[in-house]
Structure 1
Amino acid sequence: MNALRVAWSATDVTAKWSAIDALIPCYLGLHEEDTLLLGEAPPCARVGRPVRPVCIPPADLPKRRAVDREGRAALLHAIAHIEFNAINLALDAAWRFSSLGNRFVRNWLGVAIEEAYHFRLIHARLEALDYRYGDLPAHAGLWNLAEQTADDVLARMALVPRLMEARGLDAMPPIFRSFQAIGDKPTLRALAVIARDEVRHVAVGDYWFRHLCQSGNHSVETTFRALIKKYNAPWPRAPLNEAARRAAGFEQDELMALRG
């Protein structure tokens, strides 16, 4: 599937979009009985991404509040950065862990296609403010986790979709309130699409994490907590978006444990 390799490697934003578009027929036509010859994925550090934004430590990023044009742009840029990384994360999972089978590959290709749509929605809102992706600094925390889990699909499923992307579900209500306060209806419509789809993306990761735990006879909750500790990943912050997390597959007992 050369289209996947091209999409993973594309560095320019427009080239990434075009490559994702070219993946759609492959995604729609992929069946479980098909034979995929993807080859070994390159090191995560070689993934295609633009020269900008410049990545700095998360603690050095200014706080983002949608109270003025610059604040709105900063918040939208942060969301765009998350979505661009999410494209690469989904493509990387599909390629790097393709030995799990065509259903796994198809799941993550579908996620990549939707993440690219999310990026376009947010980038359009940035452009309305005369900004572009790359104009502001960002951080590489999410992709750093991808590099750390390149040889462990169980850890990847735990720490990327089930931890970091689920934290995105928790962040969505206050982000909505920020844009509601200024009456930015076009951005709210874009965020509504993203909020809906991200529940499904977390659910994909939750499904495969549970599948892998079951295959290895591991406890879901104990393994999840152990992997967070092993990789020194950030613990979920309160308040949790429990409705979205339940819709994505989290069970009530686990949510209670995450609340501490």
Structure 2
Amino acid sequence: MRPDSLHEYGILVLSTNDTYEKAEITKEAYKRYEQKEISFRSLTRTEPPEHPARPSNVKIVEPKDAPKRGGGSLGNRIALLHSLCHMESYAIDLSWDIISQYLPDEFAQDWLKVAHDEAKHFNMLEDRLKELGSFYGDVVAHDGLWNSATRTSSDLLARLAVLHCVHEARGLDVTPNNIRKFSQNDDSISADLLNTIYEDEITHVTSGVRWFKFVCEHVLRQERSKEQNIEENQVAISNQDIMDRFYQIVRGYFNGPLKAPFNDEARRKAGMTEEWYYPLTKRE
């Protein structure tokens, strides 16, 4: 029997260890939700697993032990594609994990689209690895992305800030250079693939910025209404208030200052102006 809500689909994806199956379930959920066959919320509340089920054939190592991804050799290009494929596999889990939070339906719709994009990206990268004689699991990988998810698991605002603003935006910074690497080594297929992913990722950062601002304003109103003993609708929240909370969260959860260079143009397209990240390049 198939799930009858997005929430149940999220539990299913997070409990499935095969990443190909995660991607297929995600695409099925997206199609059924678009066709209005399923709802957002389920009648019963089931908590998602603390750590998503993961494929057993992918060996996890410390970040310092991950293979080098620079250079133009076939092995280095495979290592880079594998690293991206691994990140997309975790991005599927991350999207479903955040959908499990009970927020407005528009929130679920945004992150369902993100989950669907990540599933598509995983399939594209996995197919390209096979074309190059490799496969997902052929190269060791690290768990840095999910470690950040674990640190922010009890704080939705921190999850939105660190995973969906800082980490996602970093992808916008490095992808153009990765595209150039493939183009310079006559691998136009991989370059075109990364360009497709790049355009989708801009919209993902847009979602991160949008929902961080939404949730942050709600949290600040709650806090200040209690402090001042007034109704929430009487509390005025400025953009600087939101920025200050963003800086506080990133400095508390992210390891060290943000590092340039930044892709200012792509970040701006995503609604992330320079005030979101340049102040965080300096230690507090």
TM-score when normalising by structure 2: 0.84
Any gaps of 5 or more consecutive residues in structure 2?
221-236
Give the superposition deviation at 1:34: 6.3
Which amino acid is 1:228 matched to? Answer: V
Give the superposition deviation at 1:22: 1.6
150-159 vs 10-19, which deviates more?
10-19
Q: Distance in 2 between matches of 1:67 and 1:190?
A: 17
Asked if residue 154 in structure 1 is aligned to residue 157 in structure 2, the reply is yes
8 Å CA contact 2:14, 2:97 repeated in 1: yes
Q: Distance in 1 between matches of 2:148 and 2:275?
A: 26
8 Å CA contact 1:4, 1:91 repeated in 2: yes
Asked if residue 94 in structure 1 is aligned to residue 99 in structure 2, the reply is yes
Match of 2:76 among 71, 74, 78: 71
Which amino acid is 1:125 matched to? Answer: R
Q: 2:228 aligns to what?
A: none
Q: Distance in 2 between matches of 1:190 and 1:77?
A: 13
Asked if residue 220 in structure 1 is aligned to residue 242 in structure 2, the reply is yes
Q: 2:138 aligns to what?
A: 135
63-72 vs 204-213, which deviates more?
63-72
Q: 1:188 aligns to what?
A: 191
Give the superposition deviation at 1:93: 0.5
Q: Distance in 1 between matches of 2:45 and 2:174?
A: 37
Which amino acid is 1:37 matched to? Answer: L
Asked if residue 202 in structure 1 is aligned to residue 205 in structure 2, the reply is yes
8 Å CA contact 1:10, 1:19 repeated in 2: no
8 Å CA contact 2:23, 2:122 repeated in 1: no
Q: Which has the higher contact order (CA 8 A, sep 6+)?
A: 1
Q: 2:25 aligns to what?
A: 19
Q: Distance in 2 between matches of 1:169 and 1:259?
A: 17
CA RMSD of superposed structures (Å): 2.0
Give the superposition deviation at 1:258: 4.1
1:47-126 alignment to 2 at 5 Å? 47-95=52-100, 97=101, 99-126=102-129
Q: Distance in 2 between matches of 1:77 and 1:38?
A: 38
Any gaps of 5 or more consecutive residues in structure 1?
none
Identity of aligned residues (%): 33
Q: Distance in 2 between matches of 1:250 and 1:38?
A: 37
Q: Distance in 2 between matches of 1:38 and 1:193?
A: 38
Q: Distance in 2 between matches of 1:23 and 1:34?
A: 11
Asked if residue 229 in structure 1 is aligned to residue 251 in structure 2, the reply is yes
8 Å CA contact 1:73, 1:126 repeated in 2: yes
Report the CA distance shift for 1:255/1:14 in structure 2 as closer, same or farther (over 3 A). closer
Report the CA distance shift for 1:43/1:153 in structure 2 as closer, same or farther (over 3 A). same
Aligned length in residues? 256
Q: Distance in 2 between matches of 1:34 and 1:79?
A: 30
1:184-234 superposed Cα distances (whole Å, 9 cap, x missing partner) = 111111111100000101111110101112222372222222112212435
Q: Distance in 2 between matches of 1:108 and 1:254?
A: 21
8 Å CA contact 2:59, 2:139 repeated in 1: yes
TM-score when normalising by structure 1: 0.91
Which amino acid is 1:212 matched to? Answer: V
Larger Rg: 2
Asked if residue 246 in structure 1 is aligned to residue 268 in structure 2, the reply is yes
